[in-house]
Amino acid sequence: MSSADLWARALKVIPGGVNSPVRAMKAVGLDEPLFARRGEGAYLEDVDGRRYVDWVLSWGPLIFGHADPETVEAVIEAARDGTTFGAATEREVELAEEIMGAVPSVEMVRLVSSGTEAAMTALRLARAVTEREPLVRFAGGYHGHADPFLSEAGSGVRTLGIEAAAEGRVVPYNDLEAVEGVIEGAACVFVEPVAGNVGVVLPAPGFLEGLRGLCDESGALLVFDEVITGFRVARGGAQERYGVLPDLTVLGKIVGGGLPLAAVGGRAELMERLAPAGDVYQAGTLSGNPLATAAGLSVLRRLTPAVYDELEEKGRRIDALGEHGRFERVGAMATLFVDDYPVLFRHLLGRGIYLAPSQNEAMFLSTAHGDNEIDRTIDAVAAFFS
């Protein structure tokens, strides 16, 4: 079955032909999406048999690359005992302990199935704890597709040019003065500690520290959305890397080892407000399901300092892309900002290199990317600008 045939079928049964909007690739000038068939290591293969060096890696979860043998074996072993129970399991406890041991601010964890769900839970919890409704967030930040988070969001919303009504006092990222002007009476400040949905944008010196101070002064909770940065820019996420601790943390992607799993965590006295311990209701049939927890444990237990040293070394090599545009990188996530990204994207795709089909997204390094894949990418980008 060719990609053209699949696209024609998909348009008849799926809105827009895709189950997540940015996959349509309209923003980079393609008439139909890439239909993936399989992945291995640093490579993705489409249904037409074309093979690509993959810098998307399912938007970040695959820190050990596609079809990582240890992760696959862990999932298979778990599946043999049952795919879901709707009951508590040992792996849920183990994964919560693993997260708590890694992320500095987290004393208790609630597992859920998606980053959107985790962000919704964090917001509901913050509102209950503070007995306030307003939230402060940042233009271009993306915290999932729940109503409160969508206006002026990044990622697919910005890529598609969609106008979305939402709640929130929206201010520019890295602008502490703007936050100071709107934080009074807010339940929380919701922030990606490293912006990853307008391309990668690093926090300015003192920005995260300033947010912590403003929240302490105003009584608002500080919520770090570390769905992207968690376990990627450091084992303990951006809060470990920058030394600023939030009240609540939203995690996803790597924490599930490539399967649908996310989490919200924070100080115990806050987290114990969640039902059944407290009065803030949250539930999910597949929360902490056996396959996702097995995958998450397999990945998190292998994220040693040596892994991050390796990723940083690879990152320093890929920094050569900065010769051709503004290149922003922190740890194993980066973005090359150029004037005509869609043309660059198509140029690279034609040469077997798959970048995110949006300038508003990041490229992700993995342990599976070797010197050959990095050099090939650098050479292909250089050829575009020559």
Residue 154, pLDDT score: 52
Higher pLDDT, 1 or 225: 225
Residue 22, pLDDT score: 87
Question: Which among 173, 253, 314, 341 is annotated as catalytic?
Answer: 253
Instruction: Please state, in angstroms and rounded to a whole number, the distance separating the CA atoms of residues 22 and 154.
Output: 11
Where are the strands (E) in the chain, listed by range? 36-40, 43-46, 51-54, 108-112, 135-138, 169-171, 188-191, 221-226, 248-251, 262-266, 326-330, 333-337, 353-354, 363-364
pLDDT in tens, 6-24: 999 999 999 999 999 889 8
Report DSSP state, residue 124.
Answer: H
pLDDT of 103 higher than 50: yes
pLDDT of 158 higher than 80: no
pLDDT in tens, 186-243: 999 999 999 999 999 999 999 999 999 999 999 999 999 999 999 999 999 999 999 9
Residue 168, pLDDT score: 77
Tokens standing for 157?
């919303």
Q: What percent of the chain has pLDDT over 70?
A: 96
Instruction: Please state, in angstroms and rounded to a whole number, the distance separating the CA atoms of residues 139 and 261.
Output: 26
Q: What percent of the chain has pLDDT over 90?
A: 90
Residue 147, pLDDT score: 80
175 is catalytic: no
Angle between helices 69-80 and 290-300 in degrees, nearest 10:
150
Quick check: helix, strand or coil at residue 307? helix
Instruction: Supply the mean pLDDT for the chain.
Output: 94
Q: Which residues contact 217 (CB under 8 A, 6 or more apart)?
A: none
DSSP string, 158-218: HHHT------SEEE-TT-HHHHHHH-TT-SEEEE-SSB-SSS-BPPPTTHHHHHHHHHHHH
Residue 165, pLDDT score: 47
Query: Would you place residue 161 in the very low, low, confident or very high pLDDT band (cuts 50, 70, 90)?
Result: low
Of 103-112, 117-126, 147-156, minimum mean pLDDT range: 147-156
Query: Would you place residue 164 in the very low, low, confident or very high pLDDT band (cuts 50, 70, 90)?
Result: very low
Instruction: Please state, in angstroms and rounded to a whole number, the distance separating the CA atoms of residues 2 and 278.
Output: 52
For the chain, how are helix, strand and coil distributed in percent, rounded to 5?
Answer: 40, 15, 40
pLDDT in tens, 309-341: 999 999 999 999 999 999 999 999 999 999 999
pLDDT in tens, 279-310: 999 999 999 999 999 999 999 999 999 999 99
Mean pLDDT, residues 25-38: 92
68 is catalytic: no
The CA angle 259-94-40, to the nearest 5 degrees, is: 30
**C-beta neighbour count of 269 within 10 angstroms:** 12
Instruction: Please state, in angstroms and rounded to a whole number, the distance separating the CA atoms of residues 362 and 142.
Output: 13
pLDDT in tens, 76-88: 999 999 999 999 9
314 is catalytic: no
Of 35-44, 106-115, 137-146, minimum mean pLDDT range: 137-146
pLDDT of 26 higher than 90: no
User: Cβ(126)–Cβ(265) under 8 Å?
Assistant: no
> For the purposes of burial, counting CB atoms within 10 Å of the CB of 249, is it exposed (0-12), middle (13-18) or buried (19 or more)?
buried
Quick check: helix, strand or coil at residue 118? helix
The backbone torsions φ and ψ at residue 205, rounded to the nearest 5 degrees and listed phi first, read: -55, 125
Give the closest residue to 157 by CA, choosing from 141, 170, 173.
141
Residue 87, pLDDT score: 96
Beta-strand pair 188-191/221-226: parallel
Question: Which among 26, 52, 173, 225 is annotated as catalytic?
Answer: 225
User: Cβ(203)–Cβ(197) under 8 Å?
Assistant: no
Residue 296, pLDDT score: 98
